[in-house]
Amino acid sequence: MLSLALVACTAKQPKMEDECLYSPSKTQFAFWSNVAEQMEIHLYDAADAAEYETVALKKGENDFWTASVKGNLAGKYYTVRSFQNGEWAPEAPGIFAKAVSINGQRAAIIDFAATNPEGWDKDVRPAMTDPTDIVVYETHLRDFTMSPNSGIEHKGKFLGLTEEAPLNYLKELGITHLQILPMFDYGSIDETNLAQNRYNWGYDPVNYNAPEGGYSTNPFDPACRIREAKMMVQALHKAGIRVVMDVVYNHTYDVMGCALGRVVPQYFYRLNEDGTYANGSGCGNETASDHEMYRRFMVESVCYWAREYHIDGFRFDLMGIHDQETMRQIRAALDEIDPTILTYGEGWAAMSPAYPYEELAMKQWTYKMPRVGAFSDDIRNALIGSPFDHDPGFASGNPAGVKDVMRGLIACPEWSGEPMQHVSYITCHDNYCLRDRIEVSTKGVSEETRLRMNKLAQTAVLVSQGMSFLYGGEELYRTKQGIDNSYQSPDSINIIPWENLEKYVDLHEYYKQMIAIRRAHKGFRLGSAEAVEEHVEFLDADNDQVIVYRIKDLEGIDTAKSLLVFLNGSAEEATVTMPEAEGNYVLLAYDGHANAEGLDFAPYDKIDVAPYSATIIAEN
């Protein structure tokens, strides 16, 4: 009886995403506020026109304020404001605005059906079975498309990623998912002045549920950014690549400049005991996922992107600010749309969130959030060193990291629960890119050696049982000129150097082959903690800078009977005795070369592992 009553009660709740429901004969509005004494919307003929009508909203059930406006409102704009504590709050472009004017100042009323590109109803997510099969490639729209050498026509735009050349490049590299830095409407770029060509990562949300105008060919047209974002997803899907959106629900650009802060003062944020805004994000505020309506906002928002834009995955910025229960509810809601939609995030915060640590979605508690992954700073720090100092890691000559590299190879089961919840990576947009990181931590070392270290570190990522994650451009030996926080650096620092495709052809080929080796061998992605426990062993190398990682008894799982990986993090060549094998050995990687089909010589009972390199052998 109780559960029936609960169902009946929740069924009546309006959705936050339905704040503006357009039809040609009328438009219905609904906004939530538990403190407003009055609420109203303002209607406008244009983004910069004076208001033509004020409509009072009526308080209904569950603190939703509603109105229905007759006539065809397509092409009009609205704002909402609320009255409490004796004053009117400033106008805001809705809480859940799905279409917005230039710079996200006003919400737009549009016919969403008209934003669908041709063939959108036939768009399908590319096939995917197990998340450990995934290789994510992270990029920023400008990094990937702005270079004069990119050959891309629509530079810095969603449409750039609909063009054949960049899609073919990603396809040939062999990645499965493209993670795009924030593409929702953010505040740090003036959309009225895109000619400035300013760069920003975009971790400053203004409207969570509308695309960023700066990435569209016409930010003045509210439908344009929506249509072009969909065209990008559609083109990537056609190329067999899934799309992961970087979502930043943990803070807003500011408080009173944002709809969440304006419409319902304070509610959507955590406060300190003295009433000031808590700041776990380090950006001046932190949102309150533990508050029922913000939790619902987050759940509805990801589902909205998954349904309306066919987004295939979400990377949660500073996920450690959110509570675990919210992440579980997001997982459950996405499962109803498609259980293959991916969820992972940063299991940490920038500063201390104002909420009990044990309840937060911190990396340590990943196992309590099934099928939600977390970035592994364990394997990252062990391989290349921690971002908090310049020390080398295992791949750059520091034996201290050996044990943690081994834990990372088996996906840190003590916190990850299942391997897919361990995002194996060494670099992302944050901190140094790989080339710069190795440079600052290895003084007086030649480029030839640094390239070895680069390949070795990335090899460990790609043979780890966790989910592989690569920072776009590492395969082209990108440098950010020593800048470890390039969030607003110019394009010249951030662009991917396509010209390096010729200069570093060997590095690029190695990445491509290592991705192919991972994708060809299920042994590197066993998929469950139980299988990892059963099939993985570490053999004694008699050398504290060499790791021997073996995945055995693979009949029925892999084309190989076993896989052997030797990782040599020292400046000296190592000689390792081979375990006894019944089948034929095929060499997949050796001395900085890799080939998924096999290199052209076979190893014997002893194997040499060149300095700073990986040797990988399949026993067939």
Range in contact with Ca ion (rule: CB under 5 A) among 25-33, 179-187, 228-236, 367-375: 179-187
Alpha helices in 473-545 (DSSP H): 491-494, 500-503, 505-520, 529-535
Question: Contact, 200 vs 189, CB < 8 A?
Answer: yes
Least distance in angstroms from the C-beta of 191 to Ca ion? 5
Residue 185 engages Ca ion in binding (rule: CB under 5 A)? yes
Beta-carbon neighbour count of residue 359 at 10 Å? 16
Q: Which stretch binds Ca ion (CB under 5 A): 180-188, 273-281, 384-392, 567-575?
A: 180-188
Contacts 24+ apart (CB under 8 A), 219-226: 219/102, 219/103, 219/191, 219/192, 219/194, 220/47, 220/101, 220/102, 222/99, 222/100, 222/101, 222/108, 222/110, 223/99, 223/108, 223/110, 223/114, 223/115, 225/158, 226/99, 226/110, 226/112, 226/115
Q: How far apart are CA 39 and CA 57, in angstroms?
A: 5
Cβ-contact 311, 245 below 8 angstroms: yes
Piece of the chain touching Ca ion by CB under 5 A; list 177-185, 378-386, 464-472, 583-591: 177-185
- Which token pair is 552? 């055995």
Report, in Å, the least distance between residue 615 CB and Ca ion. 49
What is the closest distance, in whole angstroms, from the C-beta atom of residue 99 to Ca ion in the complex? 13
- Window 272 to 311, contacts with Ca ion (CB under 5 A): none
Contacts of 98 (CB under 8 A, 6+ apart): 17, 20, 107, 112, 209, 210, 304, 308
For residues 4 and 116, what is the distance between their CA atoms, to the nearest angstrom?
38
Based on CB atoms, which residue is closest to Ca ion, 103 or 416? 103
Nearer to Ca ion, 157 or 519 (CB): 157
Handedness of CA 150, 152, 155, 157 (dihedral sign): negative
Cβ-based nearer residue to Ca ion, 262 or 380: 262
Given 138, 143, 204, 317, the catalytic residue: 317
Assess 143 for contact with Ca ion (CB under 5 A): no
Instruction: Pick the closer one to Ca ion by CB: 185 or 323.
Output: 185
Stretch that binds Ca ion, among 7-15, 48-56, 185-193, 495-503 (CB under 5 A): 185-193
Query: How many Å apart are CA 247 and CA 202, to the nearest integer?
Result: 10
CA distance 609 to 495: 35
- Tell me how far, at minimum, the Cβ of 319 lies from Ca ion, in Å: 23
Taking CB atoms, the residue at the shortest distance from Ca ion is 185
> Which of the stretches 35-43, 178-186, 324-332, 409-417 binds Ca ion when contact is defined by CB under 5 A?
178-186
Between 248 and 457, whose beta carbon lies closer to Ca ion? Answer: 248
Given the rule CB under 5 A, which of 184-192, 356-364, 440-448, 475-483 is the region that contacts Ca ion? 184-192
In the bound state with Ca ion, the residue whose beta carbon lies nearer, of 185 and 221, is: 185
Write the CB contacts of 201 (distance below 8 Å, at least 6 apart in sequence): 140, 181, 182, 429, 486, 487, 488
Residues 371-390 as x/- pattern, contact with Ca ion by CB under 5 A:
--------------------
Whose Cβ is closer to Ca ion: residue 138's or residue 185's? 185
Cβ at position 80, least distance to Ca ion in Å: 19
Please tell me whether residue 411 adopts helix, strand or coil conformation: coil
Positive or negative: CA dihedral 171, 174, 176, 177:
negative
- 204 part of the interface to Ca ion, by CB under 5 A: no
Least distance (Å) between residue 496 CB and Ca ion: 23
Q: Please, what is the minimum distance in Å from the beta carbon of residue 100 to Ca ion?
A: 8
CB of 102 to Ca ion, least distance (A): 8
Report, in angstroms and rounded to the nearest whole number, the Rg of the chain calculated over CA atoms.
26
Number of residues located near Ca ion, criterion CB under 5 A: 1
Nearer to Ca ion, 185 or 591 (CB): 185
The single residue listed with the structure tokens 């069924």 is: 11
Respond yes or no: is residue 317 known to be catalytic: yes
Catalytic annotation, pick one of 346, 378, 558, 619: 346
Look at the chain and count its residues: 620
Nearer to Ca ion by Cβ, of 185 and 246: the residue is 185
| Closer by beta carbon to Ca ion, 219 or else 569 | 219
DSSP 182: -
Measured CA to CA in angstroms, residue 511 lies from 283, 461, 610 at distances of 36, 11, 18
Q: How far apart are CA 61 and CA 227, in angstroms?
A: 35
| Whole-angstrom distance, CA of residue 271 vs CA of residue 276 | 6
Which residues are tagged catalytic?
A: 317, 346
- Binding positions for Ca ion, rule: CB under 5 A: 185
